[in-house]
């Protein structure tokens, strides 16, 4: 009886040990599987990070190229901004040169005058097309935004501070004054001196 009990006890211990071993093995397998999953996920994340980094670097390079092209375009735009206006002036220069080539032999003064008027008209048209306009000053109230007074003189026919004459014309470029008109302006009238009464006949001697 004792031997049987002892055998049963040994069998139970073996079963318990096997169970523990199986549980440990299962736990180790589970840990290994989880570690493999982690390693796989890490590898996937590292791949995604590398792809994102590559895309980011490409975008940075594209932006730098775009920025460089834009800066070059802006630089060239500023550098050659006057080219279209210069092209309009070239025919005027051509006319001047032709006139100068023949001015010594010219005998018709009226023809010279007409030629100069035509050249002036071309030049004025070129300036007008670019938005360059004369400032209309004479007869206008003096305005420091547009006029520069170089002299004042009395003139009772107009209001004080009226532009009487223009010494040098002023110009606007679109809405900006690029040269003020140099003008002569009417001054405030001086007060008439009070005459002293020289008639002393009403006074006692």
Taking the whole predicted model, whether its pTM rises above 0.85 is answered as: no
Residue 98 and residue 74 share a domain: no
201 occurs within a structural domain: no
Q: For the ranges 48-62, 91-105, 142-156, 181-195, which has the lowest average pLDDT?
A: 181-195
204 occurs within a structural domain: no
Give 155's Cβ-side CA count (13 Å radius). 16
Q: What tokens were used for 203? A: 């006074």
Number of independent structural domains in the chain: 3
| Residue at which a domain ends, from 94, 111, 130 | 130
Can you say whether the dihedral through the CA atoms of 158, 161, 166, 169 is positive or negative? negative
Average pLDDT, the chain: 84
pLDDT confidence tier of residue 7, bands split at 50, 70 and 90: low
Q: For the ranges 11-15, 53-57, 116-120, 149-153, which has the lowest average pLDDT?
A: 11-15
Residue 155 and residue 168 share a domain: yes
Residue 184 and residue 111 share a domain: no
Q: In the chain, what percentage of residues exceed pLDDT 90?
A: 52
Q: Return the CATH number at 145.
A: 2.30.22.10
Assess contact for 117 and 96: CB atoms under 8 A: no
Beta strand 181-186 with 163-168: parallel, antiparallel or unpaired? antiparallel
Q: Please tell me the predicted confidence (pLDDT) of residue 8.
A: 63
Assess contact for 166 and 135: CB atoms under 8 A: no
Residue 91 and residue 71 share a domain: no
The candidate with the shortest Cα–Cα distance to 134, out of 115, 152, 147, 119, is 147
Residue 8 and residue 76 share a domain: yes
Q: Please tell me the predicted confidence (pLDDT) of residue 84.
A: 87
Assess contact for 166 and 200: CB atoms under 8 A: no
Look up the domain containing 168 and give its range: 132-189
Three-class secondary structure assignment of 133-144: EECCCCCCECCC
195 occurs within a structural domain: no
140 occurs within a structural domain: yes
pLDDT at 199 over 60: no
In the chain, at which residue ranges do the beta strands (DSSP E only) sit?
A: 132-134, 147-153, 163-168, 171-173, 176-179, 181-186
Residue 68 and residue 11 share a domain: yes
């Amino acid at each position: 009886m004792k031997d049987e009990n002892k055998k049963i006890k040994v069998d139970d211990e073996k079963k318990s040990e096997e169970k523990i071993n199986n549980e440990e093995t299962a736990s180790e397998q589970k840990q290994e599987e989880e570690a493999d999953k982690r390693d796989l996920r890490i590898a996937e994340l590292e791949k995604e990070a590398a792809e994102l980094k590559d895309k980011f670097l490409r975008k940075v390079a594209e932006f730098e190229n775009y920025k460089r092209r834009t800066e070059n375009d802006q630089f060239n735009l500023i550098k050659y901004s006057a080219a279209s206006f210069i092209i309009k002036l070239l025919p005027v220069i051509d006319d001047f040169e032709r006139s100068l080539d023949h001015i010594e032999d010219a005998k018709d003064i009226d023809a010279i005058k007409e030629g100069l008027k035509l050249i002036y008209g071309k030049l004025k048209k070129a300036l007008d097309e670019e938005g360059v306009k004369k400032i209309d000053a004479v007869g206008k109230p003096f305005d420091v935004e547009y006029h520069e007074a170089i002299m004042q003189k009395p003139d009772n026919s107009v209001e004080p501070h009226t532009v009487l004459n223009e010494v040098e014309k002023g110009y606007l470029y679109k809405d900006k004054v690029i040269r003020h008109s140099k003008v002569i302006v009417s001054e405030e009238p001086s007060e008439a001196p009070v005459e002293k009464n020289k008639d002393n006949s009403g006074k006692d001697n």
